[in-house]
Chain A
Amino acid sequence: MKVVGITTQQEVYVGSRERNFRINEFLIIVDPHQGDLIGEVVEARTYNKYIPLSLNGDLADSSVLQSLKAIGYNVEEDTIYIARVRLLNEAPYPVEAGSDVRIPQFYEVKDLMINCSVEDGLVLGVIKNTDQMALDMDEEYKDLLYTFEGGKFKEQKDIPYIFNIKSMNQYPHIGIFGGSGSGKSFGLRVMLEEMMNLNIPTIVLDPHFEMDFSEVVDHLPKGKKVDYGDKFRCLQVGVDVGVRFEDLSPQDLKNLLDASSPLTDAMINVVDILFKKKDSYNSFYNRIKMLAEAQEEGSIDRITRRIEESTTDLERQGWQKRKELYLNYDKSCPYSSVRGILWRVNRLYNEGIFNNDIRKIEEGLNQGKLMVIQGNTRILQVFSTYLINNLYHKRRSYKDAQFNNSAVEYFPPFVVVTDEAHNFAPKGYECPSKAILKEISQEGRKYGVFLILATQRPTLLDETITAQLNTKFIFRTVRGSDIATIKEETDITEEEARRLPYLQTGDVFISESARGRTIFARIRAANTTSPHTENPFDELKGKLHEEDNKFFQIIKDKLPINGDDFINIIKEIESETGKTYTMDLFEEMLNNLVQKGYIIKEKTPFFNVYKEK
């Protein structure tokens, strides 16, 4: 391998007769004057001058090449391999042409590849095309993981990619981008597994109900199997967790209602006026409801008449109360806005948000667990706004208290993770969850609160937030607008951007501010599987099979069945199992079993006979 052609301080061409190059491979250029220079292959080509691409002339056909080989001359051996190599650090002078080039040893690239220990970092996968350098790698970096390639689990051959989570303190927040099927959700899963290994308190917003870590895959040898059972908990909004109404501040309540559907100024006013400190859901709800009912009556006279006409004390007291509310609030709270608040509160209540509280989440975080919050996207938007606000401010007041030397209960630093992040922090319009995510993206670092945001549409994600994502995992992306966004927001090069639409599932460019360059990696095989991995078409097939089998079990001991005897058989089945069939349906189902090979049908002159096989 030698440096060939015209060289610059940044880039050289390397040619070889023996060895083909791979993209993203590292090479050391032995410059006689400047010493060893390390570079990365950014483009690899091969060329054979005897087999040129010629559109209008000689084109050696394979039979001739084969013939030449037969008489001893292998044209293919004249292929030369050419790599465009970009130096990692600009050289003071252009690289000397003709310099030798060699494959680096592990220790020479160690600092470039690995910047934290296995114990302290997230072991997310391997750095692609580093197998040759990995040969003399330290034992501690070997056999850490498996990769999944071509439908098989493979042992680790390359240098591991270890994400230095401590660097988040300086370069906070992670973005995970990639189209559907690119390996994004699966990459997120691997990342969460690693976070559980390190017992990092984490909240996962899971709109897809897929972040369950209880099913461990089979490929891991015994002893390497990891049980995440006690490291995570799935909590459903409205069932396991919710909002304790009594704890709500007026701002919290407004955020919740706003997340449900946007509030007008008048409605905000209604909440400010009608919501009292220490209100319970019932007290608040009743207040609004009674005011609305009073307003429906229309005038103080009619309410007074209602009081007079009341037949029970209870009723009278009720109307008395309504009258008070009417007198106090009718002027400041227009009926339509009161009604609007009423609907929104009611809707949240029906979704069960007020059923429970977030104590379980707080406890889990305090124990360093991964708390998966499940619910549909809308309810998660509502709940996460409250939840994250709440937890963030808990952490914040703890940290602030440290400075003030005041005593506030400890609350740990934590990480907020969400898939489909563009739903929680959309570009272009306001949304309550966006405000808190934005605040964390800008200030969270100081308080030890970090974001991991995954989305298939980085273009739709709020720009302020995108700009704060210091590490970006970029999986296969096909949409031009998203590629443009990625190019703008990362240090990914033109060549790498061009490769984005063609990346294999699970291959990823990792653009880390901490390293100042992009790494091409492959995410490791996950230790657990998502509950949604069954193919829906397999599911259909399985279901059909199940149905057939069920029917077969019912008729099995009635075989053989004669075609003129259906009526009796059907009666028998009805008395035994309670299932009723019409004659036509019964025959059709029998024929179906014949077709599927469960039973056989014999034709006689009078009727068909269905027999055991």
Chain B
Amino acid sequence: MYNISQELKSKIMFVNKVLLDKYEEVLSMDRNILRSYINDNVGSILKIEKFTEEELKRYTQLGGILGVDGSKNRMGGTHPHFIEVYQGLAKSTLHKDKPIYKVDFYTPLYSEEEETNLLEEDSEKDQKISNKKLAAIEIEAALEGINMLKPYAVMMDGSLIRYKIVCSDKWQELKEECERRNIILVGVIKDIKTSIIRESIEEGYSLPIKECFYDRELLYGLLDYGEVILTNINTKKEERGFASLFMRSSQSPTVIGMDILKSQQSRILEMARLIFTLTPKASRGVPLWLDIIDSEVKIPDQMIRGLLESYLDRKILEMLFISERDKRTI
């Protein structure tokens, strides 16, 4: 039986109280005041409609939609004894039999770049490389998809800005390719981590918020089904060459984000409508197309383990990548 320690219980109750105190402001805020504030200062709140089937059929003539996603599996223990496998997938709605897979791996034990001192543990660096590699194969998959399948638009799973930050050289290539060929490039953000509403307040507008809140918190339940906020203030994103919007694409009260190249800003509402159309009403807000790609790109941990066990020498595997934790049986 589980014995729950009194202390653990009281600590959790404490956390609840602290968070309640902190968010009291948000939770008690009048929905309409915040909406009108946003409408005036952050961007207009618009209602968008789903595409009709006829309108959608146009996209098949124009080349279909390319969805891109990546996945990562990790096996092993702590730095440097682990290996990560990345897989990127680009798949067009028109060519379901031609998925484009890209694969890469990373282990701190072997570096393609400069010699590193293995003894110097640097998990932050690992993280950076990991992110970069994942972003890189996603972009590679997207690029190949663009060349081979000639889509009308590319829908990336995750913010475009992330690619620019973690993998700027490859990103540049993708961006230019899309602009040159006039292919629309958008990113769909499931977990928004921005705080532009809060930032706008700092610039001197009045709203009874003192603490730093993220957009995700402020926007929770604020929009109605099918409403978007077209942000029009100068944000960091803006400076980096992106336009963005928030959208409530399903009945779930959370809001998703979408960004698009500044040069393609005129298409932002069109893409928003497309995403809205492809999102099931009773889902968590992500277009089904991206969910499908997500499920195809994911590799089960067991399969990775099986692959490593089959193709790595047992000695290497045991010595380097099997952590004590993996061997635990109870």
Residues on A lying within 8 angstroms of B by beta carbon are: 49-50, 57-61, 63-68, 70-75, 77
- 1/0 per residue, CB under 8 A from A, across B280-293: the answer is 11111000110110
**B284-A71 in contact (CB<8A):** no
**A71-B60 in contact (CB<8A):** yes
Q: How far does the alpha carbon of A435 sit from the alpha carbon of B289 in the complex, in Å?
A: 73
Assuming the contacts A50-B295, A73-B93, A75-B292, asked whether A67 and B278 have C-beta atoms less than 8 A apart, the reply is yes
**A72-B60 in contact (CB<8A):** yes
Q: How far does the alpha carbon of A63 sit from the alpha carbon of B284 in the complex, in Å?
A: 16
B80 adjacent to chain A (CB < 8 Å): no
Assuming the contacts A67-B51, A70-B56, asked whether A58 and B291 have C-beta atoms less than 8 A apart, the reply is yes
Assuming the contacts A49-B295, A67-B56, A67-B278, asked whether A59 and B93 have C-beta atoms less than 8 A apart, the reply is no
Q: How far does the alpha carbon of A512 sit from the alpha carbon of B65 in the complex, in Å?
A: 58
B53 adjacent to chain A (CB < 8 Å): yes
Which residues of the other chain, A, contact B50 by a CB distance below 8 angstroms? Answer: 63, 67
**A60-B53 in contact (CB<8A):** no
Q: How far does the alpha carbon of A74 sit from the alpha carbon of B280 in the complex, in Å?
A: 15
Q: What are 19 of the A-B contact pairs (CB < 8 Å)?
A: A50-B292, A58-B284, A59-B280, A59-B282, A64-B277, A64-B288, A67-B50, A67-B53, A67-B277, A67-B278, A68-B93, A70-B56, A71-B56, A72-B59, A72-B92, A73-B289, A73-B292, A74-B96, A77-B96
**Shortest beta-carbon contacts, A-B, top 7:** A70-B56, A58-B283, A73-B93, A72-B94, A72-B93, A72-B60, A60-B280
Prevailing SS type, chain A contact patch: loop
**A57-B284 in contact (CB<8A):** yes
Determine which of B57, B283, B289 lies in contact with A68 in the assembled complex, contact meaning CB atoms within 8 Å. B289
Assuming the contacts A68-B278, A72-B60, asked whether A59 and B53 have C-beta atoms less than 8 A apart, the reply is no
**B280-A64 in contact (CB<8A):** yes
**B65-A71 in contact (CB<8A):** yes
Which residues of the other chain, B, contact A63 by a CB distance below 8 angstroms? Answer: 50, 281
- 1/0 per residue, CB under 8 A from A, across B25-55: the answer is 0000000000000000000000000110100
**A61-B282 in contact (CB<8A):** yes
B130 adjacent to chain A (CB < 8 Å): no
**A61-B64 in contact (CB<8A):** no
Q: How far does the alpha carbon of A67 sit from the alpha carbon of B56 in the complex, in Å?
A: 7
Which partner residue on chain A sits nearest B250 by CB separation? Answer: A58
Further contacts, 11 of them, CB under 8 A, given A59-B282, A61-B282, A67-B50: A50-B288, A58-B283, A58-B284, A64-B278, A67-B277, A68-B288, A68-B289, A70-B57, A70-B59, A72-B92, A72-B94
Q: How far does the alpha carbon of A66 sit from the alpha carbon of B54 in the complex, in Å?
A: 11
**A60-B64 in contact (CB<8A):** no
B279 adjacent to chain A (CB < 8 Å): yes
**A58-B65 in contact (CB<8A):** no
Which residues of the other chain, A, contact B281 by a CB distance below 8 angstroms? Answer: 61, 63-64
Determine which of A49, A64, A71, A77 lies in contact with B93 in the assembled complex, contact meaning CB atoms within 8 Å. A71
Min CB distance A52 to B, Å, is: 10
Which residues of B, 102-147, contact A by the 8 Å Cβ criterion? none
**B280-A71 in contact (CB<8A):** no
Which residues of the other chain, A, contact B96 by a CB distance below 8 angstroms? Answer: 73-74, 77
